[in-house]
Amino acid sequence: MKYMLIMRAADESWAAMGDVDFDEIIATMGRFNDEMIRAGVLVAAEGLDDAAQGVVVDYSSQPPVVSDGPYGETKELFGGFWILDVASKEEAVEWAKRAPMQAPGMKTEIRRVTSIDEFPQDNEWIQKERAWREATGQL
């Protein structure tokens, strides 16, 4: 089963990280990622750019409204993610407990990544996606 571990932090947590040497952050994350690679569970991992560089597309009206970041509510920004292929949610939780950069206001949300096999296989769009995944070596 695949699980996404989503790194989230409050504004104050990100601000506190401003005092930490960037090379130290990279080394800490690198060691954790390497541990997951050696365990054979890491599928993908990415960090995200500063929210101030992003945009938000709000679908509350038509046409949708696009606004520059940072977001209206920045209490818990999504800062990056890992995708793990593990045997259970409990195993994903154990990896999350070991994630670096633990501090007040920082959290890791864990969500199972659904498989294409869980969708109706007779749906034309699922069939097209399956064909694309097969053609690109994703299945």
% of the chain beyond a pLDDT of 90 = 52
* Cβ atoms of 130 and 116 closer than 8 Å: yes
CA distance 108 to 83: 12
Q: What is the pLDDT of residue 73?
A: 59
**pTM for the predicted model, two decimal places:** 0.80
CA–CA distance, 70 with 41 (Å, rounded to integer): 33
CATH number at residue 107: 3.30.70.1060
pLDDT at 36: 95
Q: How many domains does the chain have?
A: 1
Q: What is the mean pLDDT of residues 53-77?
A: 79
Q: How confident is the model at residue 104 (pLDDT cuts 50, 70, 90)?
A: confident
Q: CA–CA separation, 10 vs 124, rounded Å?
A: 41
User: DSSP class of residue 122?
Assistant: T
Beta bridge partners of 8: 78, 107
Q: Domain limits at 36?
A: 2-135
